[in-house]
Amino acid sequence: VFVHPSEFVQENCLTPHSQSACHFQSSSKTKNIMASEKGWSTGLCDCCAPPGGCGLVCRTCFCPCTVTGDINQATNTCPVGFLGGCLCGCCCEPCFMAAAAPNINKSEPAWKAFCCSILPCTSCCYLEQVYRETRISKPAQQEMK
């Protein structure tokens, strides 16, 4: 469905000219550009979105290694399951995310995962986005097996 840009109202953007993590509201419904164009179920700025909500925000801010452990348990990026993800997340989170994110979202390039994980303004949000995707896509992955 094509909607002319003049029909959109811009809200919640990182920068006024950036559409990569913006939410737009059309007359019919709210569209999350990041999720629809890049294959993510939730956007980068949807920090308190389910699954996880505000509890995930606290975990990511205060103990992010537990979140990387959960991501590793879902993706098997590193050996030793949850513990391996915790250790890799503590040692080098950007490298771990560069390896794990493409396993969850095939259209996500490793360089983008690395950059989003190393920047202070997006690292927590990106970790939460990837975690949420492992929980949202989990039932679909089990049906395929």
Return d(Cα 57, Cα 110) in angstroms, integer: 23
Residues 6+ apart with CB under 8 A from 31: 23, 24, 25
Q: In degrees rounded to 5, what are phi and psi of residue 23? A: -110, 135
pLDDT band at residue 31 under the 50/70/90 scheme: very low
pLDDT of residue 38: 53
pTM: 0.69
Give the pairing type, strands 30-32 and 9-11.
Answer: unpaired
* 70-99 tens-digit pLDDT: 999 999 999 999 999 999 989 999 999 999
Q: In degrees rounded to 5, what are phi and psi of residue 9? A: -115, 120
| Mean pLDDT on 31-60 | 76
